Amino acid sequence: MNSIKLVALLLIAAGVLALAYGGFSYTKDTTAVKLGPLELTVQEKKTVNIPLWAGIGAIVVGGALLLVGSKRG
């Protein structure tokens, strides 16, 4: 399998995951208060939304690369 087909399959998989989940979330530790040796940290939950057009675009570009890769090889 050449590298173009591999990138195409990864793009298609990423696009399908983006459409299925719509985004992802993560937690970030931040220091809220620091008084000498005492430190208070807070966990913030951040959410990143992936636009619908980005998922569809990844699938389309991956499909195009897959077609180009099959014509070359």
Is residue 73 over pLDDT 70?
no
* Res 1: pLDDT: 62
Domain boundaries, position 57: 3-72
The kind and range of the H/E element at 41 are strand 38-49
Structurally, the chain folds into a number of domains equal to 1
**pLDDT confidence bin for 70, thresholds 50/70/90:** confident
Q: Cα-atom radius of gyration of the chain, to the nearest Å?
A: 20
Cβ distance 15 to 58 under 8 Å?
Answer: yes
Q: What is the pLDDT of residues 5-52, one digit of tens each?
A: 899 999 999 999 999 998 899 999 988 888 888 889 999 999 999 999
The kind and range of the H/E element at 49 are strand 38-49
Q: What is the pLDDT of residues 45-54, one digit of tens each?
A: 999 999 999 9
Q: Which two tokens stand for residue 13?
A: 């998989």
Cβ distance 72 to 8 under 8 Å?
Answer: no
